[in-house]
Each structure stands twice: as C-alpha cells, then as structure tokens.
C-alpha cells in the first residue's frame, strides 16, 4: 500500500512580512524566514509544526516567476488576495508516484538565512499536469533534524502538526491521484481549491487556518 503523509501546506501571499504578522495575530502561529527559490522567483517563510509545517510563499521576482508554472500560478492567485495554494505530501517512493501519474521528479533547493543548504526532490510542484487543487509530492534529501518543520520556535498556541486539510474538488479525481493511500483530505463542495488546514491541539479542538 502506498504511504503518503503531510509534509507541508502552502499559502500564496502577496507580502511575506504582512502575512506573517497577520497569522501571528489571528492564529498565534510564529514563522521564521525560509529562503529564496531562484528559478521560481519566490521566497518563503516557515511555520514549523514538528514533523510538518505551513509555508507562506510569495513572488519576489515577478519577471522570473512568469517563466515557470509555479510562478505564474502564484501571480494569478495573489492578484485576488492571499489564499491557500496547495498541499504537499511526503513520499518515500516518489519515483513510483511520478511514474504512476506521468510527472517528472525534479531536484529543488534553497539556502536558509543561516547559510544551510536544503535539498529535495519534488513531483508536480512546477507542472502543468497537476491541477492546482491536487497535492504535490516531496522527498527530502536532508537529515531529519534539518527538515523545516523541526525549526525551533515558540508559538502563542499549542499545536502538534497538521491533522486535516479541506479541499474542494472532484472526490473521484482525488482518489485516482492518491491511489490506494489513505490521507486525511476532506473533500467539500465548491470551486476547486484548498479551503483550510486544521492543526492538532492537545486536549482541545483543532486550530483551523483559513
């Protein structure tokens, strides 16, 4: 049986600092500077959650971003305001997933503000073949302690990782995309897209980030 797990969820934002301040004020979630993705013209901030994380992603070089599928999608989405972009699933057999879905596995990297290089292999991140509301896949090429979710921060609320994501789209199409994997993605009615991400809270209801 195929096994996927939440790695991170991406929110497309127009301004990283403004979005970070809003999330801290509204949800009590603290973020840290991530780095730049040179070939996409983007930069990010990370909300560490332990084994997984939330990512604020913004275009910082529009001319570069316009040359990639990922960049163009970000530009289109953020023209209408900040909103959820996509969900990323960790995949221990990403080559098999890519072959099944007709995707290409591509290397990715960024350097943290501390000068640490992070490397990964991704499938569907920058691909026309993936409808935006469907998850993409990642396999990290770093020690576990360097995973972005492991970054040490102190949130203003106790959270323990991603519990569920709410997605609007075709449930049959999602099942085909995931194969036999069991992932807590709740499908609801509406135009295609990620609607919310729920974070586990010890002894209380989940924190729903919209």
How far apart CA 87 and CA 174 sit, in angstroms, is 12
Query: What does the pLDDT read at residue 176?
Result: 97
Q: Which domain holds residue 26?
A: 4-209
pLDDT in tens, 133-170: 999 999 999 999 999 999 999 999 999 999 999 999 99
* Cα atoms in the Cβ-side hemisphere of radius 13 Å centred on 91: 23
Model pLDDT, residue 157 = 98
Res 207 pLDDT > 90: yes
pLDDT value, residue 160: 96
Q: How confident is the model at residue 72 (pLDDT cuts 50, 70, 90)?
A: very high
Q: What are phi and psi of 22, to 5 degrees?
A: -65, -45
DSSP state of 81: -
The model's confidence at residue 104, banded by pLDDT at 50, 70 and 90, is: very high
User: Domains in the chain: how many in total?
Assistant: 1
CATH number at residue 120: 3.10.180.10
Q: How confident is the model at residue 1 (pLDDT cuts 50, 70, 90)?
A: confident
Mean pLDDT, all residues of the chain: 97
**Region at 102 (left for phi over 0; alpha for psi -120 to 50; beta for the rest):** left
Question: What are 79-96's pLDDT values in tens digits?
Answer: 999 999 999 999 999 999
Mean pLDDT of 12-33: 99
Residues contacting 49, CB < 8 A, separation 6+: 149, 159, 160, 161, 162, 199
């Amino acid at each position: 049986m195929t096994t996927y797990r939440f790695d991170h969820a991406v929110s497309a934002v127009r301004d990283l600092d403004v979005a970070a301040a809003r999330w801290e004020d509204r949800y009590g979630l603290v973020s840290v500077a991530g780095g730049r993705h040179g070939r996409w013209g983007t930069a990010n901030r990370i909300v560490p959650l332990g084994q997984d994380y939330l990512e604020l992603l913004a275009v910082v070089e529009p001319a570069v971003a316009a040359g990639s599928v990922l960049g163009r999608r970000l530009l289109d989405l953020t023209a209408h305001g900040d909103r959820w972009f996509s969900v990323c699933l960790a995949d221990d057999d990403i080559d098999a997933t890519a072959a099944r879905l007709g995707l290409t596995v591509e290397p990715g990297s960024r350097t943290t503000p501390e000068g640490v290089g992070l490397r990964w292999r991704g499938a569907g991140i920058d691909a026309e073949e993936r409808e935006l509301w469907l998850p993409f896949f990642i396999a990290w090429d770093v020690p576990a302690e360097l995973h972005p979710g492991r970054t040490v921060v102190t949130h203003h609320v106790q959270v323990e990782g991603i519990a569920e994501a709410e997605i609007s789209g075709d449930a049959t199409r999602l099942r085909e995309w995931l194969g036999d994997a069991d992932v807590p993605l709740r499908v609801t009615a509406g135009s295609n897209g990620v609607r919310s991400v729920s974070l586990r809270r010890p002894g209380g209801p989940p924190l729903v980030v919209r």
